[in-house]
Amino acid sequence: MHGNPVSLLLPLEIEGHEILSEPFYYEIKCLSNADYTTLSALQGQMLCCEIGDDKKSFPSRFIHGVITRIQYSDGNCEQNICTLTLQPELTGLGLGKKTRLWSGVTVSDIVCNILQQHLLNRPEIRLYNDPPLMDYKIQYKESDLDFINRILFDAGIYYFFIHNKDSHFMVLADDPIAHPDAYPKILTYLPSENISQPGYIKEWSATSVLKCSNVSLTGYNECNASEITINTGSKDTRTNTNNYSYEDIIPDGNRKRIKEVAETIIASHDSDRQTWQGETCSWWLSCGERFTLVDRKNEKKEYRITSLFLRVASNYASSVGDSICKFQAADNKTTLTYQHELGKPVISGILLARVVGPESEDIFADEFGRVKIRFLWGDDTLSGTDKTSCWVRVSQPWTGAGFGSQFIPRVGSEVLVSFIQGDPDFPVIIGSVYNGNNKPLFSLPKNNSKSGFITRSVNNGRIGEGHQLIFDDKKDNEKTTLSSSGDFYLSVKKDMVSDINNSMSLIVAAGRTSEIKKGNDNLIIKQGDLQNEVTGNVNIKVTNGNYSLNVSGGSGSLVSDKKLTLESMQSIQLKVGTSEIR
């Protein structure tokens, strides 16, 4: 063994397993004369176990990791038995839980960023397909490890580990070329009970499992308001599997992404559709390595190890020292994809967010009325501007083609965010709420009888600048207020009726113009006076018609402080009773 704890430990046996896209797990049984307090201090330290033969006929196998668990048994002899659990540093990323968002980065960028935050070794990137650039990705109440596993699967990427004497590191892969060769690479299948020599496989079998052969995914493109259905099939040519189909709906509307998801799902089924199992004494094999099998017909075929179980006893525990390696392999030509068991988290409730945008804008929306948001729990180092959010749809009370309602939440507004199908990556704003900075329109509880709408002029608008529609439901003092700090336009294509049961006042600060294009203007006062007071001139012009003033049951007067002129182009007639003057 190698590392600081070596002087305290005498290894007896190592046993554990490795699986693609999972942290490895090994237990090392040791003898030690140290007490529990001394041994417990080893937790969190690095340790490497080297496996090899005394003659150095075959290469050594290194298993390097961090001690995550120590089991101590106080025996009756001078030395006690302890069991150390060895796992990758990556395992520590599964201990916590975080909620944050990522935008404008690739999957590999996220993995590198997270590992860097935890001061872990940068993964080796062996990707032969360009990882997709993600506009928006939410990590919701997930450990960093679960989040990494999930987004890698979504991108069709898996990982394995490479060990050496001093370290171990993670390898991101998506193609058979990314896998290293085992050394020695050639293993010969020799089914014999007496064969227990390295370099030979003594048991070899194949397993075929019935899987779905077709995947159909339906998404919805909100910009085109159209459904998108993608169908993809397995590369398995056996017709007896064609009746099994995987059908689902997803909230995504990007045809390329839907196709990638469908291909990833079918690839995950194909990965387990046919596998091979082997048993050997070749301790140097590691998960993720390629080897060439020479079968009984002396034919060669290349495989990749997808999982293995390894148990090796030291020559101290056994006079000979033995090893057993049971592994599962896949055809090296198969595209490997391994689904994360937990899957994507579902957000069943509502989250709070704040609308964001450029500092110069009060309203920041695209052509579809979508806005950008920042969740209140967002990481300040990664979010907080209009560039850190996808465009988020806004629910309206009523929508239609050229009709409905339109209220765009303004920058700084606190909004309620739900998620389509509970998917963290597809938020939708369903409402907005007041808070300590943005208080209710009317001071409460004093004005609890009031409700309505108050807008504010954009770009540095002040209180009172905008429009108001206010309803006051106070008993016996009910009132509706409609006001505008700018212009007011009322357009009616047919009739308009106003029925006022009390008085009406009209105050115009500048001027008034009334135009009747066709028809009459009738003013009927059934009871009361008509008073017109003018400071200035009064001009009444009648064109191609008559003008008459009739006073019934009363007298009439025409008074002028100065000159009074009556002029007619034909004649003037004054008549009193039966007398008249022409």
Residue with tokens 């995504």: 252
Same domain, 27 and 86: yes
Q: What is the DSSP letter of 191?
A: -
What domain count does the chain have? 3
Tell me how crowded residue 485 is: count the other CB atoms within 10 A of its CB.
Answer: 15
Q: Are both 202 and 277 inside the same structural domain? A: yes
d(CA 84, CA 72): 9
What is the model's pLDDT at position 317?
53
Looking at residue 84, which CATH number applies to its domain?
A: 2.30.110.50
Question: Taking the complete model, does pTM exceed 0.85, yes or no?
Answer: no
Q: Which of 310, 340, 370 is the last residue of a domain?
A: 340
CA-CA-CA-CA torsion sign (245, 251, 253, 257)? negative
Q: Which amino acid appears at position 155 of this protein?
A: A
Q: Is residue 214 part of a domain?
A: yes
Instruction: Evaluate whether residue 277 is within a structural domain.
Output: yes
Assess whether 18 and 152 both reside in one domain.
no
Indicate if 385 and 395 belong to the same structural domain. Answer: yes
Residues 107 and 84 in one domain: no
- CATH number of the domain within which 282 lies: 3.55.50.10
Distance CA 206, CA 275 (A): 6
Measured between alpha carbons, how far is 103 from 110 in angstroms, rounded to an integer? 10
Contacts of 506 by beta carbon, 8 Å cutoff, 6+ apart:
none
∠ at Cα 528 (525, 531), nearest 5°? Answer: 85
CB contact at 8 A, 287 and 19: yes
For residues 295 and 331, membership in a common domain is answered with: yes
User: Do residues 365 and 408 make contact, with C-beta atoms less than 8 angstroms apart?
Assistant: yes
**Is residue 289 classed exposed, middle or buried when 0-12, 13-18 and 19+ CB atoms within 10 A define those classes?**
buried
List CB contacts of 386: < 8 A, sequence separation 6 or more.
356, 357, 358, 364, 372
**What whole-number distance in Å separates Cα of residue 273 and Cα of residue 322?**
33
Shared-domain flag, residues 28 and 10: yes
Q: Over the range 434-450, which residues count as b (16 or more CB within 10 Å of their CB) and which as e?
A: eeeeeeeebeeeeeeeb
Whether residue 334 sits in one domain with residue 233? yes
Please give the residue range of the domain that contains residue 215. 92-340
Cβ-Cβ contacts under 8 Å for 218 (sequence gap 6 or more):
227, 228, 229, 230, 247, 248, 249, 250
Residues 261 and 196 in one domain: yes
Q: Which two tokens stand for residue 240?
A: 């007896």
- Identify the helix (H) or strand (E) that includes residue 393: strand 393-394
Domain-located, residue 543: no
Q: First and final CA of the chain: distance in angstroms?
A: 138
Do 363 and 256 share a structural domain? no
Question: Residue 370 belongs to a domain with what CATH number?
Answer: 2.40.50.230
12 to each of 46, 309, 453, 492, how far by Cα in Å? 18, 17, 78, 94
Residues of the chain with pLDDT under 70: 75-77, 193-196, 236-244, 316-321, 338-342, 378-388
Q: Is the residue at 541 inside a domain?
A: no
Residue 453 in any domain: the answer is no
Mark which of 91, 126, 141 sits at the end of a domain. Answer: 91
Residue showing tokens 């997709």: 132
Phi/psi of residue 37, each to 5°?
A: -60, -45
410 domain-assigned: yes
Please check whether residues 48 and 110 belong to one and the same domain. no
Residue 445 domain-assigned? no
Which of 292, 321, 340 is the endpoint of a domain?
340
| Assigned domain for 577 exists | no
Does 103 share its domain with 8?
no
Q: How far apart are CA 321 and CA 436, in angstroms?
A: 72
**What pLDDT sits at residue 554?**
86
Query: How far apart are alpha carbons 198 and 403 in whole angstroms?
Result: 77
Q: Which token pair is 5? A: 């704890």
> Residue 5: CB partners within 8 Å, gap ≥ 6?
42, 45, 47, 67
